[in-house]
Amino acid sequence: MRNQITVLVVDDSAFMRKSLSIMLGSDPEISVIATARNGQEGIELALKHKPDLITLDVEMPVMDGLTALKKIMNDCPTSVIMVSSVTTEGAQATLKALELGAVDFIPKEMSYVSVNISKIKEDLISKVKEITRQKSLRERLSRLKAIGERTNAKPKENTHSNVLPQIGYSAVMMGISTGGPFTLQKILPLISEKIQVPIFVVQHMPPKFTKSLADRLNGMCKLDVKEAANGDSVEPGVIYVAPGGYHMKLSKSNSHVSISTTLEPSDSLHRPSVDVMFDSVIDVYGKHALGVVMTGMGKDGYEGVKRLKSLGGSSIAQDEESCVVYGMPKAIVEGGLADAVLPAEKIPEMINKVV
C-alpha cells in the first residue's frame, strides 16, 4: 500500500472533509491519511505525515488557508490543491494562493453532492494523480518564481531550433491550464507595450475566477488585459482572457473582428476550450496566428495547433522543466508540432522578437 498517493484534507466543514475523503478514497491508488479542521492542525499533520498532496480550504477559523499555505511551503513544501468558494473574494484569495505556490484549485460549491458528482470526482482524482506524478515540482515552482529576476540559471538544451519564421503575425493565441495563473502572472507582464496585435488566452477556470485573473493581470501588464465579453470588438495590443464557463470565438465582417462567448460546442471536455478558441482564431487569421501552449493537464490545444501547422503557421510549447504540469505542451512536442520549445521566461522574449 506504500505506493498509494497519500492525501491530507484540511477543511473546517465536517461535510467537506467527509465528501473529499469519500471521493478520493474511492480510488485504490489514493489514501486519505488524515483530516484537519483548520490551518494550524493542517500544518501539524503535514509535518507529522508528510503527505504527497494536501487539499486546503481557504476560509477557516484559528488559521486561514493562505497563512497555512505560506507555512507549509516554508516548513514542509508539498503539492497543494486549494478548495475555494465561488465568490469574487474567493477567486482573489485563490489567485493569491496560486501565487504563493498552490498548484491548482477546485471550486468549493462544485465539490458538494450534485448531479455532476461523478464528473467532479473524476476531475479531482485526475488532478491529484497528475500533480503527484510530476517530478521536482517544488524546484519547478522555485524556478518559475525567479522569472523576470536576474538569474544565471541556464535552460536545458533541446533539439529544437527555436527559430520562428518572420511571417507577419496578426494575432497570438495562448492555451494554458494547471499552473496557468501563476505562470501567466510571470510572463504576460514581460510582453512589450509595442505589441500591436491582439492576444487571446484560454485558461481553464470557472466563472468569476477568470474575471479576477484578468483584473489582476491588467494591473501587472504593459498591455490592457480584460475578460472577453460577448460582442467585444477586437483591438490591437489588448489581451483577451476567455470567460470561465464559455468558449471564446471570433467572427469577421469586412475588416472588423468581434468576439462571441458561447456555450457551443457543449460536448467539449473544457469550457473554455483551447482547441475551440484556436480553431476560431485560425478561421480569422490563418497561418498568421502564433500558437502558444503552456503548462496544463491533458491535450487541449493539440488539434488547434495541428491545424495551424497544416496551414504553414508556427507554434511555441513551454518546456518540461518550467511547466507545473507537463501535459498540454508535451502533446504538442511529441506530436512534432512545436517550432520552439522554451522555458516560460523565454516565451515573452520570443513573442516580442517575432510579433
Active site members: 177, 204, 300
Q: How far apart are CA 39 and CA 260, in angstroms?
A: 42
Cα of first residue to Cα of last residue in the chain, in angstroms, is 52
Instruction: Show the 3-state SS of the chain.
Output: CCCCEEEEEECCCHHHHHHHHHHHHCCCCEEEEEEECCHHHHHHHHHHHCCCEEEEECCCCCCCHHHHHHHHHHHCCCEEEEEECCCHHHHHHHHHHHHHCCCEEEEHHHHCCCCCHHHHHHHHHHHHHHHHHCCCHHHHHHHHHCCCCCCCCCCCCCCCCCCCCCCCCCEEEEEECCCHHHHHHHHHHHCCCCCCCCEEEEECCCCCHHHHHHHHHHCCCCCEEEECCCCCECCCCEEEECCCCCEEEEEEECCEEEEEEECCCCCCCCCCCHHHHHHHHHHHHHHHEEEEECCECCCCCHHHHHHHHHCCCEEEEECHHHCCCECHHHHHHHCCCCCEEECHHHHHHHHHHHC
Please check whether residue 162 is in contact with residue 341, taking contact to mean a CB–CB distance below 8 angstroms. yes
Q: How far apart are CA 260 and CA 232, in angstroms?
A: 7
Q: Per the structure block, which three cell numbers stand in for 84?
A: 475555494
Q: How far apart are CA 127 and CA 52, in angstroms?
A: 13
